[in-house]
Amino acid sequence: MLLDLNEDEALVKGSLEQFTAGALRPRIKPFADRHEFPIELVKEFLALGFMGTAYDPAFGGGGLGTRGAAIVAETLARAEPGFAAIFLCNSAPMTVIARYGSDDLKRKWLEPLCRGDFIASFGVTEPSGGSDVASVKMRAVEDGDSFVLSGSKVFSTNAGTPLHGITTFVAVTDPDLGAKGLSTFVVPVGTPGFRVGKASRKIGWRVADSVELFLDDCRVPKANMVGNRGDGLRQILTTLSIGRILVAATGLGLARKAIDLAKVYGSGRQVGGTPIFQHQGLTFPLADALTKIHAAELMIRNAACLADADRPFRLETSMAKLFATEMAGEAADIALQVHGGYGAFEEFDVSSLPGEARVLRILEGTSEIQRLVIAREFTA
């Protein structure tokens, strides 16, 4: 499989690399050190239109599909993984609206998201649910021309920031139907009854705020339902599968950042008068990391191509997500090892990478969930 980018993909990657080199890399570290959402940097990123890379040009997007979005996630993560998280967590609500929303809903919400007018968050995981997305307890009760939503969600990234505009929530509309009784709704920030919890510090995604969300008798019009009533679980599973490709791409970018840092530091380091890269104890693990980076890129490209061709891609997505995120942790570890004792000090960028990589093995389905999906697909 050739990994050459087409003309449009190369243009996006080149433009994005200009942004990361000129704005993101020189300015992001103080925000990461303070665990602070970088408002002005995000505004500059939004103004460039990259949030709409994947989506239909008829609604303001770039038309490059999941392949294009994966390029954006990887390129951002190679500069700062937490900034890539802002992108990929904004992509999930955009994807569910783009794939399942009416044209009116797309014009109302997808178009401004593609323009970068605001950012969105995803409301799926609940305090008691974890990886079981079918065990949703948030209720949506029909009342005239509206639905009234009540319940809470956790780990909603991008919510509560000054740029937060909407959240897509999954709620129970038909409790007697079990998993077939879930539906998805767009809830704008500022809707009465919509409350946002306080952001907490994390070991990774330090510049991407993640909060708990509360809906207390929150009324939204029926037109804010995404797609058909009862399709929520199918919508969310497909959206999560696409999200796993972007998480894998984030892991790929993180691993490349780790190897970049290891090469720069290790090339000028000697121990006992011998360059450390003459020691096989360090160079062999780096060789393994480079090999796995290449394998991850092939897996991500394959999964993205399947998704864009509307072919079955759940198995390949889980494999890519599992492999790339586990590989990212290994790359971060060897990069820190190359730095020796200095790798433990926060002024060295490499010190943050193990935590950033560890988060990727949890979200959008843990590594254990990916193995379960892969095994079930194999034995079905």
CA distances from 43 to 119, 164, 264, 355 (A): 10, 12, 31, 26
Structural tokens at position 32? 């990461």
The Cα–Cα gap between 219 and 273 comes to: 70
The maximal CA–CA distance of the chain, rounded, in angstroms, is 79
**DSSP letter, residue 179:** G
Kindly state the helix (H) or strand (E) to which residue 76 belongs, with its residue range. Answer: helix 65-79
Q: Clarify whether 364 is annotated catalytic.
A: yes
Instruction: Determine what percent of the chain falls in helix, strand and coil, rounding each to the nearest 5.
Output: 60, 15, 25
Question: Which string of b and e fits 26-36 if b means at least 16 CB within 10 Å?
Answer: eebeebbeebe
**Hunting for tokens 């999941």 — which residue is that?**
66
Q: Which of 126, 364, 368, 377 is catalytic?
A: 364
* 73/249 Cα distance (integer angstroms): 6
Among all chains, which residue has been given the structure tokens 């665990």? 35
Distances (CA, A) of 90 to 61, 95, 124: 14, 9, 13
- CA atoms of 137 and 272, how far apart (whole Å): 61
Q: What are phi and psi of 379, to 5 degrees?
A: -95, -5
Cα 134 from chain centroid? 20
Q: Read out DSSP for 268-326?
A: T-EETTEEGGG-HHHHHHHHHHHHHHHHHHHHHHHHHHHHHTT---HHHHHHHHHHHHH
Residues with catalytic function: 364
